[in-house]
Structures are given as structure tokens and as C-alpha cells.
Homo-oligomer: A and B are copies of this chain.
Amino acid sequence: FGSQRVLVEPDAGAGVAVMKFKNPPVNSLSLEFLTELVISLEKLENDKSFRGVILTSDRPGVFSAGLDLTEMCGRSPAHYAGYWKAVQELWLRLYQSNLVLVSAINGACPAGGCLVALTCDYRILADNPRYCIGLNETQLGIIAPFWLKDTLENTIGHRAAERALQLGLLFPPAEALQVGIVDQVVPEEQVQSTALSAIAQWMAIPDHARQLTKAMMRKATASRLVTQRDADVQNFVSFISKDSIQKSLQMYLERLKEEKG
């Protein structure tokens, strides 16, 4: 089930697999990592013995730093289009998965990392002040796509989403719980065990009833992207190709290099 960047610890007996992100240094969602995630998810969905998956990081400290900016900077329009389709695909597959998905957030969870967490049925965050969660795209001068806005709005409501998205807020654990972007905050060492007991609660429900209900709740939001996928890709390509955007991404990447240097 796993791959180089996606470790999978299957427990067929319990019907649960733990999917660990391993794309050092910060589990950025590169094109390869996105593709491996979708393949692993598909394999688990096709193997009838699995009913639930826990998503977590193999390296505590960072759940996922989000989209890989090097895929969105200094590349061709065709590359941007291919990359954005892969981001859409991951969201669509996770958001509409028939599996129970629980994210065990054992590290920082900004932007694309938050995208992954928001697709899950249940979100558990380690109570560590360094582990913040949110959609901070505007801090980098870019914006979240409408379907990610919809997912956030479905989770924390219109007003909170309006403020969080415009300010690019990253919520530390207590605020994340209070605004509702996570469902539970537990001591770091209990994140994995809490995820196991949470997933058991969801798996106690007959699958077909739970899946039909999940589809009823999420269909309208998913269809909004499905019916405009190409337009959304064109929109992303034209936005990311703007000189001003390329310049701000370039500056941000250089700053990251300096900080690492």
C-alpha cells in the first residue's frame, strides 16, 4: 500500500491503516508526493479489509507544510496545470472517500497541510503551541481556491472562514479547537491513540449508512469543483503566472533558503 513518500502500516484485522507522510524536509505536497498519496488511498479503498485510515506525519513537528512552492515558481504553464490537477485530485479523492479518514495532526499544518486535514471526517491536533493549523495563503500574497474556501466554510462557518481566509490566520491548538477547525486537542503523545479510538467510533456505524450520509453532506461541495475543474485549472495557471505573484513566491523561497542556510 505504501511508497517512498507514503508509509502505510496496515492492520487488516482492525480494518485500519495508518498512512505516514514521509517527504522530507517538511512533507511539502510535491507532484510525486500528491500522486503517491492518491495511489495509496486508492489501494486501501480497493482492498475490502480496510474501512478507516489515519493520516499522520512520519516526522513529528510538521504534518505537511502544504503545496510545494517550487512546483509553482519558474515553471511552464503546462507544469502549473498538471500540478494543479494533482492538487484537485487529492482533494476530491480524500473529501469523497468512502473510508473513514481521521487526521492525527502531529505537527504544523498550514495551507495545503490544512487542506488534507479538512477533507477528513475527524481532526485531532497535538497540544503543542508550535503546531498551528489554518489557510495562510494570503500571507504569501496568494489565495485559496473556492473549493478549499467551501471546505473551510463547511467546517467553521461563513463568518469565521471570511476572517480566517482574508487574514491568513494560523490557529494554535486552543484557538483551533474553539473556532472548530479541529475536533479535539490532546497531549502530543496521545494523538495516535486518540485517533485509533476516534476511528473505532466511526467504524461502529454500518458502512453503507455512514457512506450515504457522508455523500449527502459533501456532494454539493465536491460537484462545485467537478463541474468547473478546467476553469479552475486555467484560473490557477493565469493567477500563478502573473509577474507579481512569481516575484512574491520567488522572494518567499529565497527567504526560506536563507532561514535554512
Contacts and interface: CB of A to CB of B under 8 A. Distances in A.
Contacts of A216: 143, 146, 149, 165
A32 interface: no
Contacts of A157: 157-159
B159 A202 contact: no
Given A167-B201, A206-B248, A210-B166, A159 B158 contact: no
Interface of A, secondary structure class, is helix
A142 B209 contact: yes
Contacts of A161: 217
A154 interface: yes
A180 to B, nearest CB: 6
A143 B213 contact: yes
B162 A159 contact: no
Contacts of A159: 154-157, 180
Contact size range, A? 35 or more
A205 interface: yes
A159 B166 CA distance: 21
A93 to B, nearest CB: 18
A205 B166 contact: yes
Contact of A139 (B121, B156, B202, B205): B205
A248 B205 CA distance: 13
A138 B213 contact: yes
A157 B141 CA distance: 29
Interface in A186-230: 201-202, 205-206, 208-210, 212-214, 216-218
A219 to B, nearest CB: 10
A72 to B, nearest CB: 14
A206 B138 CA distance: 7
Nearest to A118: B159
A127 interface: no
A260 interface: no
A144 interface: yes
Identify the 8 closest CB pairs spanning chains A and B, nearest first: A138-B209, A154-B158, A141-B206, A162-B217, A155-B159, A166-B213, A165-B213, A143-B212
10 contacts: A121-B163, A142-B209, A144-B213, A149-B213, A149-B217, A154-B159, A154-B162, A158-B217, A162-B217, A208-B244
